[in-house]
Amino acid sequence: MSQRIRLLAEVVANRIAAGEVVERPASAVKELVENSLDAGAKKIEISIERGGRSLIRVTDDGHGMGPEDALLALERHATSKIRDASDLLKIQTFGFRGEALPSIASVSRFTLRTREPEALEGTEVVIDGGKIIRAGSAGCPAGTSIEVKQLFAHVPGRRKFLRTEETEWGHIEHGVRLAALARPDVGWVLRRDGAVFWQDTARKDLEERLAAVFGRDWKESLLPMDVRDGGMHLHGYIGRPGVNRATRAEQILFVNSRPVQSGSLNAALLEGYHNALMRGRFPITVLFLEMDPSGVDVNVHPSKREVRFRQDGDVRRFVSGAVAEVLRGGSVGPLPMPTMTTNGFTPAMTLSPLAHQPAVTFPAREPLADTASGGSLELKVESAPGIPAGWRFLGIVDHLYLVAEKDGGVVLIDQHAAHERILFEQLLRQVAQEEVHGQKLLYPVTLEFPPLQASFLKDRVEQLGKVGLGISSMGGNAFLVDALPPRIRTLAVEEFVRGVVADLETGGTGARKDRKLSEEVIAKTVCRHAIKANDRLNEAEAVRLMADLLACELPYTCPHGRPTMILLSKGELEKKFGRAG
Ligand code: ADP
Ligand code: MG
């Protein structure tokens, strides 16, 4: 193919379309990834530099394009995916509008390299702000690679609307996660500023991909769901009763593999949860609705994020009914109660970008049955597994103290001190084995610190990372918090982090700025701030707490030296009641 330079016929129209299709770098990534998926890719690599401002590159091993198609693809409304208007009623591909490539190419420096697997040569097209700079044959691997540099460089107005690199990156990452969840069968590599940020090989099922995206504990606070009715299939996971959020941000929904937003589905979920959810709280979900594509209108919004259902009422009833059914099933019988430090839905990676949104809140698990209702002491006869011989759990006083029997005496256990000790030992053990898996926050939090604290913090970022507290300097006095130490449950990430930092800085004994902090001191501080009053334990959790405490190396005090237990021995009881002698 000879080189030719020409102005695309509709640069202006394309830029206008770009305003709708390419709101921000993440939208360009989304469009490119969707094209790769539509091209049957089994492996997609995404490289991002400076939050997508300087580079977005999406490389796939899909079916590629021949030379004519490569050029045609850059014309507005050129699409290989639909042929006539009736196709719009049953869209099975992600793309169909034929707008994405020309739009992106009109507002960036754009390079397309593509080769069909059986072709000897590939094609390269370079476009700068809508002008074709080069088009010709090129050696390249089978598949397609699209590079978008200097996004919006030609439209300074739009460039100004870009948020910080961090925010734009967050949106990109969120989108990639969603795509990765939608397509476990595809291998993904996500690079940020040159380094691999996340990757996962092709998986055989969603479960494996969920673990790869959200970390090993992802299941703990979720219930599986798999319900079919009248051609609709709803499957995935929803939060257990009591596991919910203050925002919709973790309500992840797919319709026919497309991540969507839908007022109807939102409403259906709330209906399904009805009395399992307080007002102003939202379910967490990773749900997939499969249905006849002709029942879904995806052409509501240029970025295809919103959907409408043709039989809206039916879909809504089906979804709310399915959710209610699963919740009913899920709330009877014992739920697995691994420990009171359950993390809930704590992704191993951040899922969304909206750093200004409230921090991810870890679920305060509602007690399933309040065995210590009214603060009374309840007698229990059988001893539970996990507690050493000679011990017997009796009850909980004032939601605060566990009561147990040991060798004829009575033991009172301070729930919070005990919890602190358990967390502390677990954390230190992991630090020692260099096995700390921080819990990535769904929403990284940006925090400004006072100048002194900020400079103190800058030097300790790495150390904090060792205990799983992911914090990084964003320049000036701003820091990004993107991970919490393992098993730390907190409702207020910001408060927690500020508390830890302030404590470490003052060291409790006045400013000692160059003091070298040991991991132990950090772990101690982290654990103290993790423990919040008023955790209501149910009996299973209380027993588990007790067992965990008794398994500790130093069970008798919290890391700060306060007692975790008070023992009234048999002898003491006898003395006090005047039986001795
Ligand atoms: P749409 O996806 O709506 O069809 P796009 O502008 O995103 O429109 O893409 C235009 C066309 O370019 C697609 O229909 C497809 O034929 C082709 N195309 C785009 N990206 C790829 C890719 N990664 N691999 C193969 N073909 C592609
Ligand atoms: Mg497309």
How do strand 43-49 and strand 187-192 relate by DSSP bridges?
parallel
Question: Which pLDDT band, with edges at 50, 70 and 90, does 581 fall under?
Answer: low
Element spanning 427, H or E = helix 415-432
Predicted TM-score (pTM) of the model is 0.59
Above 80 in pLDDT, residue 355? no
CB 198 within 8 A of CB 381: no
The CA radius of gyration of the chain, in Å to the nearest whole number, is 28
20, 76, 96, 101: which to mutate for ligand 1, most atoms within 8 A of CB? 101
Of the ligands numbered here, which is closest to the C-alpha atom of 70?
A: 1
Atom 18 of ligand 1 has which residue's CA nearest to it?
35
Judged by average pLDDT, the poorest of 35-49, 105-119, 376-390, 394-408 is 376-390
Nearest to 461 by CA among 453, 371, 545, 175: 453
Q: Which tokens go with 293?
A: 């594509």
Q: What is the pLDDT of residue 96?
A: 65
Judged by average pLDDT, the poorest of 268-277, 423-432, 509-518 is 509-518
Return the bridge partners of 254, or none.
259, 288
Atom 23 of ligand 1 has which residue's CA nearest to it?
36
Above 80 in pLDDT, residue 262? yes
Q: Which tokens go with 327?
A: 């919740």
* Residue 122 φ then ψ, to 5°: -105, -175
Question: Is residue 31 classed as helix, strand or coil in its secondary structure?
Answer: helix
Q: How many angstroms separate the most distant Cα atoms in the chain?
A: 110
398 CA distance to ligand 1 middle (Å): 63
176 CA distance to ligand 1 middle (Å): 18
> Could you give the strand order of the β-sheet that contains 439-448, starting from the edge strand earlier in sequence?
439-448, 478-484, 470-473
95 CA distance to ligand 2 middle (Å): 4
Of the ligands numbered here, which is closest to the C-alpha atom of 14?
A: 1
* Residue 32 φ then ψ, to 5°: -65, -40
CB 395 within 8 A of CB 379: yes
**Averaged pLDDT, 90-105:** 77
Atom 21 of ligand 1 has which residue's CA nearest to it?
35
Of the ligands numbered here, which is closest to the C-alpha atom of 102?
A: 1
Above 60 in pLDDT, residue 55? yes
CB 241 within 8 A of CB 330: yes
Q: State the DSSP code for 334.
A: P
Instruction: Give the per-residue SS3 of 51-70.
Output: HHCCEEEEEECCCCCCHHHH
Name the burial class of residue 22, with classes exposed (0-12), middle (13-18) and buried (19+) by CB atoms within 10 angstroms of its CB: buried
pLDDT tens per residue, range 390-420: 889 999 998 889 999 988 899 999 998 898 8
* Residue 169 φ then ψ, to 5°: -60, -45
Q: What is the pLDDT of residue 140?
A: 95
Torsion of CA 91, 97, 102, 106, to 10 degrees: -130
- Tokens 């069970």 -> residue: 555
Looking at the chain, the whole-number percentage of residues with pLDDT higher than 90 is 39
Above 60 in pLDDT, residue 6? no
14, 22, 38: which to mutate for ligand 1, most atoms within 8 A of CB? 38
72, 76, 79: which to mutate for ligand 1, most atoms within 8 A of CB? 79
**Averaged pLDDT, 178-197:** 95
Above 60 in pLDDT, residue 177? yes
Q: What is the pLDDT of residue 292?
A: 92
**Averaged pLDDT, 33-44:** 96
Q: How many whole angstroms separate alpha carbon 234 and alpha carbon 269? A: 12
Q: What is the pLDDT of residue 434?
A: 82
C-alpha dihedral sign at 200, 205, 207, 208: negative
42 CA distance to ligand 2 middle (Å): 17
pLDDT tens per residue, range 359-393: 242 222 333 333 333 322 233 333 445 788 888 99
256 CA distance to ligand 1 middle (Å): 19
Compute the half-sphere exposure of residue 91: CA atoms within 13 Å on the CB side of its CA.
23
Above 60 in pLDDT, residue 128? yes
Of the ligands numbered here, which is closest to the C-alpha atom of 79?
A: 1
Atom 8 of ligand 1 has which residue's CA nearest to it?
98
**Averaged pLDDT, 312-324:** 93
**Averaged pLDDT, 470-495:** 87
Q: Which tokens go with 144?
A: 């397609």
CB 83 within 8 A of CB 77: no
pLDDT tens per residue, range 544-565: 899 999 988 778 878 877 778 8
* Arithmetic mean of pLDDT over the chain: 80
C-alpha dihedral sign at 17, 23, 26, 30: negative
Q: What is the pLDDT of residue 537?
A: 84
**Averaged pLDDT, 171-195:** 95
Question: Which pLDDT band, with edges at 50, 70 and 90, does 44 fall under?
Answer: very high
Q: What is the pLDDT of residue 279?
A: 67
**Distance between the two ends of the chain, CA-based, in angstroms?**
108
**Averaged pLDDT, 530-535:** 64
Element spanning 393, H or E = strand 391-397
pLDDT tens per residue, range 213-250: 888 777 877 889 999 998 999 999 998 876 777 788 88
Q: What is the pLDDT of residue 452?
A: 83
Of the ligands numbered here, which is closest to the C-alpha atom of 80?
A: 1
171 CA distance to ligand 2 middle (Å): 19
Atom 13 of ligand 1 has which residue's CA nearest to it?
79
Of the ligands numbered here, which is closest to the C-alpha atom of 66?
A: 1
Q: What is the pLDDT of residue 428?
A: 87
CB 121 within 8 A of CB 137: yes
185 CA distance to ligand 1 middle (Å): 20
Given the CA of residue 58, which atom of ligand 1 is nearest to it?
Answer: 23
Above 80 in pLDDT, residue 98? no
Judged by average pLDDT, the poorest of 159-173, 352-366, 451-465 is 352-366
Atom 2 of ligand 1 has which residue's CA nearest to it?
95
35 CA distance to ligand 1 middle (Å): 5
180 CA distance to ligand 1 middle (Å): 19
Q: Which residues line ligand 1 (CB under 6 A)?
A: 31, 35-36, 39, 60, 62-65, 73, 78-81, 95-101, 144
pLDDT tens per residue, range 483-528: 998 887 776 888 889 989 988 887 644 444 455 677 888 888 888 8
**Averaged pLDDT, 352-356:** 31
Q: What is the pLDDT of residue 352?
A: 34
Q: What is the pLDDT of residue 111?
A: 97
Q: How many whole angstroms separate alpha carbon 444 and alpha carbon 339? A: 25
Given the CA of residue 64, which atom of ligand 1 is nearest to it?
Answer: 25
79 CA distance to ligand 1 middle (Å): 6
